[in-house]
Structure 1
Amino acid sequence: MATTAGPARSAGVPAGAPDGSGSATDDVAPTEAAPFGVDPLRGVRPALTQASVERLFAILIAVAAVGYGAVYAPAVVRQLPWLDPVWGPVAAAVLGASFVAVGVSAFAQRFAQVAQIVCALLFLVVLVTWPLTVREPIPDSQYPWPWWFLTVGSTAAAMGFAPWRATVYTALVPAVYVVVRLTPLGGDAGASAVLQGVYSAILSGAVLVIAVLLRRAAAAVDAAQATAVRRYSLAIREHATEVERVQVDAIVHDSVLTTLLSAARADTPEAKALAARMARNAIDHLGAAAADLPGEAPPVTVHDLRVRITDAVGALAAPVRLRDAPVGGLRIPATIADALASAALQACVNSVQHAGGAGVERWVRVEQRGGAVHVEVGDDGAGFDLAAVPAARLGVRRSIIERVQAVGGTAVVASNPGAGTRVRLEWHPEVSA
């Protein structure tokens, strides 16, 4: 049974098995690699972020401030006759203006925190100065009007202050309210004042706890997303570096090393002329690779790819027969065509060098199967054992397998000693997209 090496579709992921250098007896069995090319974060919006939480808080406190202000404004007006004729209306008007500012800040997020802090501080000032505001005791049937807005002030503090400041505020405001209510000017409410203070403290504390927990959760989500983005960016950079390394290794092996080996073995004028021509081609290849930019070359058809491979293998020292196969009108990117043509040529070079002499039959087939491109290079020569390939040899791994992987294709090498070798290359646009 033939030994096969079928790497998974990935781009530029280094294989972990042995490979070879410049021969059909050099191959590798890479491990399956993680796919690249699709951003896992694209189109994904976290349900909870710090910005969304702050926006929600701004809207909630704006609704509470404007709503409570509108509902209880008539009650505040009815209580003005018992208040100082100057400070009473001024305190109510200033606090009402802060409520309006909080409401407007919902549409101007940058001013939301400032408006919340000002609102909380003004409410505390109004509450503390209540004994100075009252001209004569209010009726027992009424509450001091700051009571109706105590939740608004505590919520504004929970949203605007740092947690420890908001905690102090949440504890201080109910305590001040209880003290005010126990005085004659505050209604001398007795035990009911304590119950009202406890109720206010529980409600304000619940708002503060929810705000702190949501903010911490949102900060954790933002930190996790930032970490994921950094790690993905690092992976993309490493991937790009690996792809570039594979391309450089393949060019060096195909052009430079092969040329140097041919020049070292050239002992006839014809061999020397061939080595010189190979050297010029290698220089041109390196120059073209350095100047090439992504997307410069137009797409090519499968027929053009077959013509290119046929012309390239026609210059080899041994004949390589082109087998007939159907080709359609599929057009493939130039980078894909370059990778497939270079990998197929290197497979033919390996066969010529190592599969045997003139009695070995060699062939190449290029065809389109549906929407996929298939290239097969084979011979009935010596074959080889993949497991025996030294790890230090670079040929098939760099010049064939990883070169095709780098463009999203697959390369499968099947060989067995004495049974020839088959190199199958495939590229499918739907898989590589």
Structure 2
Amino acid sequence: MSAEPQPAVHLDRAWGHIPQGRFVAASQGTFTRRRIERITAIAAGVGCFVLGIQAFLIALSNSAGVQEQWEIPLLVVIFGSLVAMCVLCFFRTTARVATGVFAIVFILLLALWPVLTAGSTPTATPEPWPWFLINVATMAAVIAFPLPLQLAWTIGTPLLYGVVRLAQGGFEPAFWMSMVFEVPYSLILGSLLLTLATIFRRMASGVDSERQVAVSGYAQAAEAQAAQEERVAVSALMHDSVLAALIAAERADSPRARSLAVSMAREALEGLADTSTPTGGIELKPMSLKGLARGIRAAMADLGVRLEVDVQTPPGIADDGPEAHRIPASVAAAMIRAATQAAANAVQHADAVGLQARVGRPDGVPAAAAAVVVVVSDAGPGFDIDAVPDDRLGISASILARIAAIDGTATIDSGPRGTTVTLRWEEA
């Protein structure tokens, strides 16, 4: 068992991870898609850098007829933008801009290629170095642009290269034979890269969509659970404080009874003011056994009843101080409320005859584990538990349900010689 076993605590923690608000939900709804985009950009940066090195070495050994005055500026612009793109692909905010710039620069290179190579004698083989960058440009378009432009770059870039090369070679048969290999190869590889990227993106979008549905369903379930717990808490509060105060006021026939009714009315008003807190006004902090006993005494004192609470611990186990086992805050609050209700029942129905309370550790619990048992007993006439109507919440909601909510156990033994309520919780 965790240190905070109350379901509401876990619910509150989980609620903090649910998207709250339209803009946060939209951001969380693209969780997988954003990561796929980032992985694709990084992979493209690495792959394009390798292809860029290959093209750069080929360009150094064979300028492909580029005029001498344009050779160095052209290499600086093309390969400088390529290196910048590969580096900026590692950063989410700059990847799309850098890839988009290179895709456009490469199209301009192909369009100006006849001008840059004017005066030279073109050859059909080997392939000029821009051919090795065609799929670098198409992949850059896949990263940077929406799907229609991705298709346009994937198909248009190889075709533009083919048209430029054919025009440069005067549409001679040797150039046609080269284009039969070069253009389809670039089209097939570019289409494969585009298809893979599209598949991964759609898969990621599907995962995000299902996640949105799951989160929305969980949020609705959490809201329903919170509403149900609030109804139970309000019902218990109504019985613990409001109805009990009204009944006590109606039955008050002595100064002591009237004083008790006034105290209960004050407690009811304070409880209603504290309904927004998970513990109903009790200070939310871990407690030792002695602290728990003090809390029960204080709660009964607020009802005008002086109750001594005995603290019993096995030898060798500290019951207070820094070395004492601390009872989790939600457990302590539930124990105080349930024990107070049990004692209030004894005051109301048994006139507090033989009323006593004890706080201790259960038998058989390891010394290292946090555990607590609270026993409230009286010497009244007792009652038949099975005969208690279902609409009476003093036992079902205020004691049994409250202890069950912290994964504890509550037992009630009642007979002609009195009633004993035992509340037990231990850390698993």
Q: Which TM-score band applies after superposition, normalised by the shorter structure?
A: 0.7 to 0.9
Please tell me whether residue 159 in structure 1 is matched to residue 143 in structure 2: yes
Structure with more relative contact order (C-alpha pairs < 8 Å, separation 6 or more): 1
Instruction: Tell me which of 333, 341, 348 is aligned to 2:336.
Output: 341
Q: Counterpart in 2 of 1:301?
A: 288
RMSD of equivalent CA atoms = 4.3
Amino acid at match of 2:287: V
Distance 1:364 1:303 in 2: 13
**Against the structure 1 CA distance between its residues 278 and 79, is the aligned structure 2 distance closer, same or farther, given a 3 Å change threshold?**
closer
Distance 1:211 1:189 in 2: 32
**Against the structure 1 CA distance between its residues 208 and 348, is the aligned structure 2 distance closer, same or farther, given a 3 Å change threshold?**
same
Q: TM-score, normalised by structure 1?
A: 0.73
Decide whether the 8 Å contact of 2:275 with 2:281 is kept in 1: no
What is the CA deviation profile of residues 246-291 of structure 1, one whole-angstrom value per residue up to 9, with x for unaligned ones?
A: 4444333222221211211223444334433433454455567789
Helix, strand or coil at the partner of 1:94:
helix
Decide whether the 8 Å contact of 2:52 with 2:82 is kept in 1: yes
Distance 1:290 1:148 in 2: 68
**Against the structure 1 CA distance between its residues 417 and 372, is the aligned structure 2 distance closer, same or farther, given a 3 Å change threshold?**
same
Q: Counterpart in 2 of 1:410?
A: 408
Decide whether the 8 Å contact of 2:155 with 2:187 is kept in 1: yes
Distance 2:221 2:200 in 1: 31
Distance 2:282 2:414 in 1: 40
Decide whether the 8 Å contact of 1:106 with 1:112 is kept in 2: yes
Q: Counterpart in 2 of 1:75?
A: 58
Decide whether the 8 Å contact of 2:99 with 2:140 is kept in 1: yes
Instruction: Tell me which of 136, 149, 153 is aligned to 2:133.
Output: 149
**Against the structure 1 CA distance between its residues 284 and 165, is the aligned structure 2 distance closer, same or farther, given a 3 Å change threshold?**
closer
What is the CA deviation profile of residues 61-111 of structure 1, one whole-angstrom value per residue up to 9, with x for unaligned ones?
A: 322333323332242244337234455654443222220220231344322
Amino acid at match of 2:342: A
The gaps in structure 1 that reach 5 residues or longer are 1-8, 14-34
CA-CA distance at 1:350 after TM superposition: 3.3
Alignment: residue pair count = 393
Helix, strand or coil at the partner of 2:385:
coil
Larger mean Cα displacement after TM superposition, 133-142 or 259-268? 133-142
Decide whether the 8 Å contact of 2:64 with 2:129 is kept in 1: no
**Against the structure 1 CA distance between its residues 229 and 420, is the aligned structure 2 distance closer, same or farther, given a 3 Å change threshold?**
farther
Q: Counterpart in 1 of 2:371?
A: 372
Distance 1:309 1:293 in 2: 14
Amino acid at match of 1:11: P
Q: Counterpart in 2 of 1:382?
A: 383
Larger mean Cα displacement after TM superposition, 301-310 or 200-209? 301-310
Amino acid at match of 2:203: A
Larger mean Cα displacement after TM superposition, 372-381 or 109-118? 372-381
**Against the structure 1 CA distance between its residues 287 and 314, is the aligned structure 2 distance closer, same or farther, given a 3 Å change threshold?**
closer
Decide whether the 8 Å contact of 1:50 with 1:219 is kept in 2: yes
Matches within 5 A, 1:160-239: 160-183=144-167, 184=169, 188-229=174-215, 232=218
Helix, strand or coil at the partner of 2:7:
coil
Decide whether the 8 Å contact of 1:12 with 1:405 is kept in 2: no
Amino acid at match of 2:341: Q
Distance 1:60 1:345 in 2: 65
Please tell me whether residue 94 in structure 1 is matched to residue 77 in structure 2: yes
Q: Counterpart in 2 of 1:111?
A: 94
What is the CA deviation profile of residues 14-46 of structure 1, one whole-angstrom value per residue up to 9, with x for unaligned ones?
A: xxxxxxxxxxxxxxxxxxxxx64664997xx99
**Against the structure 1 CA distance between its residues 214 and 92, is the aligned structure 2 distance closer, same or farther, given a 3 Å change threshold?**
same
